[in-house]
Amino acid sequence: MKRKKLTYLIVGSTLIVAVGLIYFFGIRTGKIIPRADVDVATMALNPASGTYQTGQTFDVNIVINTGGIATDAATANLNFDTNYLDVVDMDATRTGIQITPGTIYPNMMTNIVNSNRITFEATIDLNADPLVPFTGTGTLATIRFRTKQAVASTNVTFYYVEDSRDMDNSQIISHASDTILYQPGVGTYQITNTINLSLQLQGNVNHNNSATGIDLRVYQTGQSTIIFEKTDISTDTAGNAQFPVNLAAGNYDFWLKVPYYLAQKKTNIAMANPLTLAFGEQRAGDLNNDNQVSQSGDYSKIILSWRKRSTDAGFDPISDVNKDSQVNMSDVQLLLTNWRVRGAQ
């Protein structure tokens, strides 16, 4: 009985050692992948975010990281919104729209852009002997997008179901024929239009049309809800400013308020890129910024700085309506040209 137990012990120990050696050499040769290593590869877009002008093109790389595992192939299936993005054809010699292949998998199998879906798949060189798998980080392919219209954000996403080998699934295949991709990333992009704004400040004797803190509000034509507002616009000495906006195609009303001047409004303006908004002369005299010129709010401020120069104590530059560095009758006369006038609502 003791001899039989000893025999079982020896056989069992031998089997354990044999299994351990097989597992060890299997890992060393890449023929066995530990479960902890499965689903560690990543697929991402680079850049994953950015801001671009309407009509601009930009490149996005599909980047994979195998997580240290030897791989033979990869498939990327991506969706994008055709309302905001188009894919630019990068190979006129091939039928259909093509994206640019990377170099990590030299054997391109599929390169298709169909409506809002991009499908790209490639493998290692299957004619090589021995086969040379890819391990590491590299670019699977590069997509060139062209923006179509402004939007706060639009996403480019991978179609992905974990461990699925469905032909529509994004996946990375290991040298041991396992699917090892773990939840791929998302690309989020902002598309803007450009507004070129111009204005002149009424009565400025120095012809300096620079202003800061200008407020621009945008409405759907005929509506009262603000859909876009920018409160930090600054103009140069010529009265010009340029800045981006997120406005889709359509018609809009634009309301502009320069500090200490009466507001103006332009209505039913068709969005373009770039959009030129020439607001012309801004009427002076709204010294308390209530969007009207009156005695109690505006004339009274002039009286507080009456006959003072910019070098005098108590001088208020706001009361210097014509910007000649002194407060006198010239400022009153300029204020009176807009007496009891209200700005655009």
Taking only the tens of pLDDT, the chain with its 345 residues reads 555 554 545 544 555 544 454 444 554 554 454 543 467 999 999 999 999 999 999 999 999 999 999 999 999 999 999 999 999 999 999 999 999 999 999 999 999 999 999 999 999 999 999 999 999 999 999 999 999 999 999 999 999 998 888 888 999 999 999 999 998 999 999 999 999 999 999 999 889 999 999 999 999 999 999 999 999 999 999 999 999 998 988 999 999 999 999 999 999 999 998 999 999 999 999 999 999 999 888 999 999 999 999 999 999 999 999 999 999 999 999 999 999 999 999
Q: What is the pTM (predicted TM-score) of this model? A: 0.74
pLDDT at 38: 61
Nearest to 24 by CA among 15, 16, 32: 32
Tokens of 311: 């070098």
Question: Whole-angstrom Cα distance, residue 47 to residue 50?
Answer: 7
- Judge whether 317 and 310 are in contact, CB under 8 Å: yes
Q: On the CB side of 330, how many CA atoms lie within 13 Å of its CA? A: 14
How does DSSP classify residue 246?
-
% of residues, the chain, pLDDT over 90: 82
Nearest to 285 by CA among 329, 333, 240, 233: 333
Q: Which domains does the chain have, with CATH numbers?
A: 37-184 (2.60.40.680), 193-282 (2.60.40.10), 292-345 (1.10.1330)
Nearest to 143 by CA among 204, 187, 195: 187
- Judge whether 336 and 284 are in contact, CB under 8 Å: no
pLDDT at 171: 96
% of residues, the chain, pLDDT over 70: 89
